[in-house]
Amino acid sequence: MQTLTDPFARAISYLRVSVTDRCDFRCSYCMSEHMTFLPKAELLTLEELDRLCSRFIALGMTKLRVTGGEPLVRKGILTFFEAMSRHLASGALRELTLTTNGSQLSKFAAPLAALGVRRVNVSLDTLDADKFARITRWGRLPQVLEGIAAARAAGLRVKINAVALKGFNEDELTSLTDWCAREGHDLTFIEVMPMGDDMGEALRLDQYWPLKDLRARLAQRFTLTELDQRTGGPARYVRLNETGQTIGFITPLTHNFCESCNRVRLTCTGQLYMCLGQEDMADLRAPLRSSPDDAALEAAIHAAIARKPKGHDFDYSRRVSDGKLSGQITRHMSHTGG
């Protein structure tokens, strides 16, 4: 079996693929309410996504996370999962998973489970229906809770991803943690990132809640044991001794584990980002479309991986100024599913 190895001897085995830029929610920290989405011709077709991801898997990717936009609003998305499931069956792919807002899970959980998906990350910042409607603008909490219940009923393991927003869900730290313990969901908190100009407007400085503060707050109520659980990504984990729960903390732009980074991100237009904290990307759509043969595509993938940087040292918490989170932080993150 092949492996993709970068210049720093890191095996690149995890591909996050965004299958659409569209979403049925308009979370205020992620999208403006009036979005202009990409014309269809720009997007990779499902067949192209299959070809591209299959080439990555042939080169050694063993984990594939499907994201968006909202992946489950992409028309025909089950066709893509079905295509990827053949790589699970062959043993080339060890894990096929997705990150979703949960709105479509009632419909999709069972078919996804049947295609070999075992775990799903659901983004959910609050258990308060009014607050949920406010932060997502277009979302409705009961629909998401039904989706999560459907996922569990289908046998999927659920991880809740909650963006930590001071003054918004600060008071729900305990209730979210308790709810996840009761329901048997894993829980990870994400530090909010300022994304682009308009998000800078939407995101007020007083919403920035550093995860170290949140962690200290948890430590007032629970005994925290640091876990040596590494995923190659920007997450750290602790165990709450009292409940046995594992809680994750994602500080996306902090220089955490670059030395063990195992991932790259593909946008729905075929751009490959080698590092979450840097703007360099490789266009894979042109070689993909230039020939039905995969030679040019494969060469472009190798060339891109050879450019994967050693790491980023971008702690944007240092860039808080003028009463607003500042900085044009990598707009590509909104196209690569964070």
Helix axes 295-305, 46-58, angle to 10 degrees: 60
Which residue of 52, 195, 282, 301 would you call a contact of ligand SAM, by CB under 6 A? 195
Question: Does residue 327 belong to the site contacting ligand SAM (CB under 6 A)?
Answer: no
Shortest Å distance, C-beta 113 to ligand SAM: 18
Contact window for ligand SAM (CB under 6 A) among 189-197, 229-237, 256-264, 300-308: 189-197
Question: Does residue 338 belong to the site contacting ligand SAM (CB under 6 A)?
Answer: yes
Which residue of 28, 123, 169, 177 would you call a contact of ligand SAM, by CB under 6 A? 123
Residue closest to 120 by CA, chosen among 85, 95, 89, 87: 95
| Interface with ligand SAM in residues 212-241 (CB under 6 A) | none
Other Cβ atoms closer than 10 A to 154: 17
Helix axes 77-90, 46-58, angle to 10 degrees: 20
Shortest Å distance, C-beta 329 to ligand SAM: 8
List Cβ<8 Å contacts ≥24 apart for 80-88: 80/19, 80/46, 80/49, 80/50, 81/111, 81/112, 81/115, 81/117, 82/115, 83/46, 83/50, 83/54, 84/50, 84/53, 84/115, 85/115, 85/116, 87/54, 87/57, 88/116
Number of residues in contact with ligand SAM, rule: CB under 6 A?
A: 18
Question: Does residue 100 belong to the site contacting ligand SAM (CB under 6 A)?
Answer: yes
Question: Does residue 161 belong to the site contacting ligand SAM (CB under 6 A)?
Answer: yes
Question: Does residue 64 belong to the site contacting ligand SAM (CB under 6 A)?
Answer: no
Other Cβ atoms closer than 10 A to 229: 12
- Cα–Cα dist 34/27, whole Å: 12
Which residue of 15, 192, 202, 282 would you call a contact of ligand SAM, by CB under 6 A? 192
Residue closest to 101 by CA, chosen among 137, 62, 155: 137
Which residue of 67, 106, 126, 251 would you call a contact of ligand SAM, by CB under 6 A? 67
- C-alpha distances (whole Å) from 113 to each of 69, 97, 110, 120 are 21, 10, 5, 10
At 58, which amino acid appears?
A: A
Question: Nearest-CB residue to ligand SAM?
Answer: 338
The β-bridge partners of 224 are 240
Shortest Å distance, C-beta 156 to ligand SAM: 15
Nearer of residues 25 and 56 to ligand SAM, judged by Cβ: 25
Nearer of residues 147 and 270 to ligand SAM, judged by Cβ: 147
Contact window for ligand SAM (CB under 6 A) among 85-93, 96-104, 226-234, 259-267: 96-104
Question: Does residue 70 belong to the site contacting ligand SAM (CB under 6 A)?
Answer: yes
| Peptide bond connecting 248 to the previous residue in cis, omega within 30 degrees of 0 | no
Question: Does residue 337 belong to the site contacting ligand SAM (CB under 6 A)?
Answer: yes
Which residues of the chain form contacts with ligand SAM (CB under 6 A)? Answer: 23, 29-30, 67-68, 70, 99-101, 123, 161, 163, 190, 192-193, 195, 337-338
